[in-house]
């Protein structure tokens, strides 16, 4: 292998926007050529966006994808390219085109389709079976997509890899907060065990509930990471493949783009960036400019507003304070202080007028009944109605402020605080909401989220002296129980054995099991764990089983 420059174009395409994605790819190719890149890779399904789901069975979509590929091939003089696309038209494949100097050298079809969490690639794609060696730019290269790189059983695979000098892997790996360095370590082992260079191009961007973090890698044949792409941003990583080894390399071009070991953000910082990118891409890619958020003065809405400002800029975020007869002066002033700290517009719309009209309208029906969740939820739903009225009038997307601890236990009002087009904290437990808020304040070196918000006892303020702990165990107890029951799906007995009171564990389990109906009606939000409740395995709504 002669000295070759490999470029990893870690791009953020939009599902279905074939024109814009192709332009982005062509632009990266031009930039890479300027920097003397010999071989340039793009992420999995870069032309179409990932995951295209049912689009990949539409003939017109496949035809336009082919047309995009044709343009990319046409403009590939002077460079070799590996780019992800959907191959059709009879069967659809999650595919990689290998291109060199205006010639399509070959097409690889993904073998190991991803079918975990929300991913159901087997519904949309046929599986490939061949793994050829491509000889381009004097390199013997094998190309794999996503999990294919781990395949050991497929007969073609280890054989091909044994011959290859470089394993190109193009991927769209959903971000999971708990992953840490495990993907990196596995890829490094893969390189060292095969004495082969690994070039991993991971998608970046948000798509509905998924976030892809980028962090692409070039790993030398001894398993050392020599280059790492940015996290949660587009990037063009360039590395020099030597005759035997591989060295990180600062390109001596006019526009400086050094190959470098970008630092991987620590866990809480990573989650925060995932929330920002996921929110930004959901809003922008769906054609919205502005968002509107109900600011209660509580921690959840304060964090959502902060994430939104970091994603979209202060002028694109509108806060609405909607105090009721039960709102405390402290929470009202905290909402104001937060808006001021963030520099966002704050509308104040007290809900008393609407609330008292409902009570009058329902006076006959509610005669001789005790106040209960009915009166509480009316208030939450008035707020949902106001936010959606503003959304309908001005085209702002509503961000809802529910968190995972609330949706897991059903401690949230359908059409009330759950009302929204997107729920940034949907998969974030309450205790992590506090960590994220603290992280953001520390990062800013000042109080962005007022400290009184962080210290006040959580309350929905829907009745006098209302506290979350009236209904739920304290979050420091609740969250680990939820994790054990929902994520690790442990039996109640095992959770009790971890040191929790049986009564509390049973209460939490019953809350989870009986609130599935609410979660089914929740808006999409950002996933930071591998799947939905029980890793893509579904809890029936109609379900009389109780442990």
* Cβ 30 to a second copy shortest distance, Å: 23
Q: How far is the CB of 342 from a second copy (least distance, A)?
A: 20
Beta bridge partners of 240: 5, 247
Residue 285, token pair as written in the block: 């890619």
Contacts (CB under 8 A) with a second copy, residues 281-310: 281-282, 285-286
Integer Cα distance of 295 and 280 in angstroms: 19
Which residues 381-400 are close enough to bind a second copy by CB under 8 A? 381-382, 384-386, 388-390, 392-393
User: What is the three-state SS of 95-124?
Assistant: EEEEEECCEEEEEEECCCCCCCCCCCHHHH
| Interaction between residue 277 and a second copy (CB under 8 A) | no
The verdict on 543 binding a second copy (CB under 8 A) reads yes
Window 11 to 30, contacts with a second copy (CB under 8 A): 14-18, 20
Question: Where does this chain touch a second copy (CB under 8 A) — which range of 134-142, 155-163, 370-378, 447-455?
Answer: 370-378
Is 430 near a second copy (CB under 8 A)? Answer: no
**Are 305 and 319 within 8 A, CB to CB?**
yes
Q: Which CB sits closer to a second copy, 102 or 369?
A: 369
Interface positions, 90-119, toward a second copy (CB under 8 A): 115
Residues 309-338 that bind a second copy (CB under 8 A): none
- Residue from 104, 192, 349, 504 in contact with a second copy (CB under 8 A): 349
CB of 238 to a second copy, least distance (A): 30
Q: How far apart are CA 248 and CA 117, in angstroms?
A: 36
497 binds a second copy, rule: CB under 8 A? no
Q: Which of the stretches 8-16, 31-39, 298-306, 425-433 binds a second copy when contact is defined by CB under 8 A?
A: 8-16
The conformation of residue 547, written as its DSSP 8-state character, comes to -
| Beta carbon of residue 301, minimum distance to a second copy (angstroms, whole number) | 19
Tracing tokens 């470089």 back to the chain, one arrives at 166
- Give me the 150-179 binding string for a second copy, x by CB under 8 A, dash otherwise: ------------------------------
Among 1, 33, 36, 57, binds a second copy (CB under 8 A): 57
Question: 64 with 45: CB under 8 angstroms?
Answer: no
Q: How far is the CB of 499 from a second copy (least distance, A)?
A: 20
Q: What is the Cα–Cα distance from 261 to 266, expressed in whole angstroms? A: 15
Which residue's structure tokens are 């009002």? 413
CB nearer a second copy, residue 11 or residue 241 = 11
How far is 225 from 261, CA to CA, in rounded Å?
Answer: 8
CA distance 340 to 446: 13
Please give the span between the terminal C-alpha atoms of the chain, in angstroms, as a whole number. Answer: 62
Give the one residue of 90, 153, 360, 457 binding a second copy; rule: CB under 8 A: 360
Give CA–CA dist 380/401, Å, rounded.
Answer: 12
- Among 7, 43, 51, 146, interactor with a second copy by CB under 8 A: 51
**What phi and psi, each to the nearest 5 degrees, are found at residue 321?**
-95, 125
Residue 107 vs 397, nearer CB to a second copy? 397
70 interacts with a second copy by CB under 8 A: no
Do 37 and 259 meet the contact criterion of CB atoms below 8 Å apart? no
In angstroms, give the least distance from the CB of 291 to a second copy. Answer: 14
Strands laid side by side in the 103-109 sheet: 103-109, 93-100, 80-87, 39-41, 4-10, 235-241, 246-248
Among positions 31, 58, 163, 463, the unique one binding a second copy when judged by CB under 8 A = 58
Number of residues in contact with a second copy under rule CB under 8 A: 87
The 3-state DSSP class for residue 268 equals: helix
Site for a second copy in 198-237 (CB under 8 A): 206-208
Residue among 539, 308, 511 nearest 407 (CA): 511
Interface with a second copy, residue 245, by CB under 8 A: no
Q: Which two tokens stand for residue 201?
A: 């191009």
Window 464-483: residues binding a second copy (CB under 8 A): none
Binding positions for a second copy, 500-529, rule CB under 8 A? 517, 520-524
Evaluated on CA atoms 131, 133, 136, 140, the torsion sign reads positive
């Amino acid at each position: 292998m002669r000295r070759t420059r490999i470029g990893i174009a870690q791009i953020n395409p939009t599902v279905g926007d074939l024109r814009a994605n192709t332009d982005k790819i062509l632009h990266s190719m031009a930039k890479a050529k300027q920097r003397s890149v010999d071989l340039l890779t793009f992420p999995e399904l870069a032309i179409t966006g990932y995951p295209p789901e049912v689009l990949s069975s539409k003939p017109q979509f496949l035809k336009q994808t082919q047309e995009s590929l044709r343009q990319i091939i046409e403009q590939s003089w002077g460079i070799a390219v590996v780019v992800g696309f959907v191959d059709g038209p009879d069967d659809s494949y999650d595919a990689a085109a290998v291109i060199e100097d205006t010639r399509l050298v070959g097409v690889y079809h993904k073998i190991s389709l991803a079918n975990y969490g929300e991913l159901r690639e087997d519904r949309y794609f046929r599986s490939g079976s061949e793994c050829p060696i491509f000889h381009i730019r004097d390199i013997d290269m094998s190309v794999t997509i996503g999990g294919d790189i781990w395949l050991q059983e497929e007969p073609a695979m280890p054989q091909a890899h044994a011959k290859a000098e470089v394993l190109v892997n193009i991927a769209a790996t959903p971000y999971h907060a708990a992953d840490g360095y495990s993907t990196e370590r596995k890829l490094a082992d893969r390189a060292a065990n095969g004495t082969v260079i690994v070039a991993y191009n991971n998608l970046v961007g948000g798509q509905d509930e998924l976030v892809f973090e980028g962090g692409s890698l070039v790993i030398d044949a001894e398993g050392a990471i020599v280059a790492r792409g940015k996290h949660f941003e587009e990037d063009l990583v360039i590395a020099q493949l030597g005759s035997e080894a591989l060295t990180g390399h600062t390109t001596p071009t006019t526009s400086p783009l050094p190959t470098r070991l970008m630092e991987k953000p620590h866990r809480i910082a990573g989650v925060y960036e995932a929330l920002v990118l996921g929110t930004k891409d959901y809003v922008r890619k769906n054609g919205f400019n502005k968002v509107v958020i109900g600011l209660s003065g509580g921690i959840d809405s304060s964090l959502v507003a902060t994430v939104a400002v970091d994603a979209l800029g202060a002028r694109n975020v509108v806060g609405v304070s909607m105090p009721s007869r039960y709102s405390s002066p402290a929470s009202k002033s905290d909402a104001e202080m937060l808006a001021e700290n963030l520099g966002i517009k704050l509308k104040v719309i007290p809900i008393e007028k609407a609330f008292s009209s409902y009570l009058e309208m329902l006076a006959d029906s509610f005669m001789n009944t005790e106040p209960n969740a009915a009166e509480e939820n009316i208030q939450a739903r008035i707020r949902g109605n106001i936010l959606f009225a503003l959304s309908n009038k001005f085209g702002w997307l509503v961000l809802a402020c529910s968190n995972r601890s609330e949706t897991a236990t059903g401690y949230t009002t359908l059409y009330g605080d759950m009302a929204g087009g997107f729920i940034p904290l949907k998969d974030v437990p309450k205790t992590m909401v506090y960590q994220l808020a603290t992280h953001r304040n520390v990062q800013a070196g000042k109080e962005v989220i007022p400290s009184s918000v962080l210290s006040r006892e959580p309350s929905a303020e829907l009745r006098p002296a209302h506290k979350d702990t009236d209904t739920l165990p304290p979050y420091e107890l609740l969250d680990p129980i939820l994790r054990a029951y929902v994520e690790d799906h442990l039996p109640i007995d095992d959770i009790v054995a971890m040191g929790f009171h049986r009564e509390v564990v049973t209460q939490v389990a019953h809350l989870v099991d009986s609130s599935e109906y609410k979660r089914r009606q929740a808006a999409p939000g950002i996933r930071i764990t591998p799947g939905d409740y029980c890793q893509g395995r579904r809890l029936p709504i109609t379900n009389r089983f109780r442990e």
